Amino acid sequence: MKRTFLLFTITLTVFGCKNPKKDNSKLNVVTTTTMITDLVKNIGGDHINLQGLMGSGVDPHLYKASEGDVSKLANADIIFYNGLHLEGKLVEVFEKMKNKKTIAIADALDKSTLIGSEYFASNFDPHIWFNIEYWKQATQFVVKTLTDAIPEQKETFKTNGNNYIKQLDALKNKLETVIETLPREKRILVTAHDAFNYFGKAFNFEVVGLQGLSTATEAGVQDVQNLSAFIIEHQVKAIFVESSVPKRTIEALQASVKSKDHDVTIGGTLYSDALGDAGTIEGTYIGMFEYNVNTIVNALK
């Protein structure tokens, strides 16, 4: 507890003393989740120094800033984060950065269109990257933010943004074609936590998570029993592990279903709150989304 308080105090002190960048060197940009890091990289390219705090398999709901992160944040000119309390452990730090340019990607969206929850602190589902149309809006938001910071690169950022939006449109069309091969009655997605509601809404899946919107909440015995009954009633063929959530939660669900003389397979591991390893196809937003959909459809057919 003392160490956490000291780190927090040091963080605020450093941020309070840091002067805005006034030279012509590259803009220092820090991002939180891997999805945002990939997005900003596509727009900023070589015109920014980009550092992401979180890596593959990291759960942003539970993430705490390390001493190394303090240094990155202290030297940042712009910090992009998701918002909607996704980065729950970092919110207090961000709120204290009065003289830092902290940008919540969720601010690009009309909150009246978001999925609400009476059980989650923000009252909104924070997993906005699973709606491709939202990610297109986020792209335009990042373009504007970087353009405001580096006006001389306006055309470059605009071109990069337009090109990326074209890639997102192509992705959406490709995914729709794949999903159409799966009958509507089989489009039931059961995962470790409620990360895929925007995906379900966009592509007509019924989505059920064992845990709630945040992995900070844990599933109880009754949750497992209720969901196992749901799986049996709806003859769900496969359930899915998430890369950023311990596998044991889904394994417990599978065991519960089998104890009731019904078989359900683990259809694979989905990327939910983080992308795959850097340098792989799944380490990009587009590659992650395509991998997820292929995994879901193939397992549920």
Q: What pLDDT is recorded for position 113?
A: 96
The residue-averaged pLDDT of 219-234 equals 87
- ∠ CA 274-198-119 to the nearest 5 degrees? 90
Give the DSSP letter of residue 214.
S
Q: What pLDDT is recorded for position 93?
A: 75
Distance (Å, whole) CA 81 – CA 214: 16
C-beta of residue 35 within 8 angstroms of C-beta of residue 83: no
Distance (Å, whole) CA 222 – CA 252: 12
Q: Is 119 exposed, middle or buried (0-12, 13-18, 19+ CB in 10 A)?
A: exposed
Distance (Å, whole) CA 268 – CA 280: 18
Q: Which residue has the higher pLDDT, 8 or 140?
A: 140
* pLDDT-above-90 percentage for the chain: 71
Residue (of 199, 194, 205) closest to 134 by Cα position: 199
CA dihedral over 75, 81, 85, 89, signed as positive or negative:
negative
C-beta of residue 34 within 8 angstroms of C-beta of residue 13: no
Q: Is pLDDT at 100 greater than 90 in this prediction? A: no
CATH fold group of domain 2-174: Rossmann fold (3.40.50)
Highest mean pLDDT among 92-106, 142-156, 204-218: 142-156
Distance (Å, whole) CA 7 – CA 167: 41
Q: Where in the chain is the domain with CATH 3.40.50.1980?
A: 2-174, 185-300
pLDDT band at 222 (very low <50, low <70, confident <90, very high): confident
C-beta of residue 248 within 8 angstroms of C-beta of residue 156: no
The residue-averaged pLDDT of 189-196 equals 92
- Would you say how long the chain is, in residues? 301
How is residue 193 written in tokens? 């936590």
For 53-66, how does the pLDDT look when each residue is reduced to its tens digit (9 = 90+)? 999 999 998 899 88
Q: Is pLDDT at 70 greater than 90 in this prediction? A: no
Residue (of 281, 231, 301) closest to 38 by Cα position: 281
Q: What pLDDT is recorded for position 63?
A: 93
Q: Is 96 exposed, middle or buried (0-12, 13-18, 19+ CB in 10 A)?
A: middle
Q: Which residue has the higher pLDDT, 23 or 158?
A: 158
Residue (of 280, 285, 286) closest to 171 by Cα position: 286
Distance (Å, whole) CA 156 – CA 268: 39
Q: What pLDDT is recorded for position 159?
A: 98
Q: Which residue has the higher pLDDT, 218 or 287?
A: 287
For 255-266, how does the pLDDT look when each residue is reduced to its tens digit (9 = 90+)? 999 999 999 999
The answer regarding whether domain 185-300 maps to CATH 3.40.50.1980 reads yes
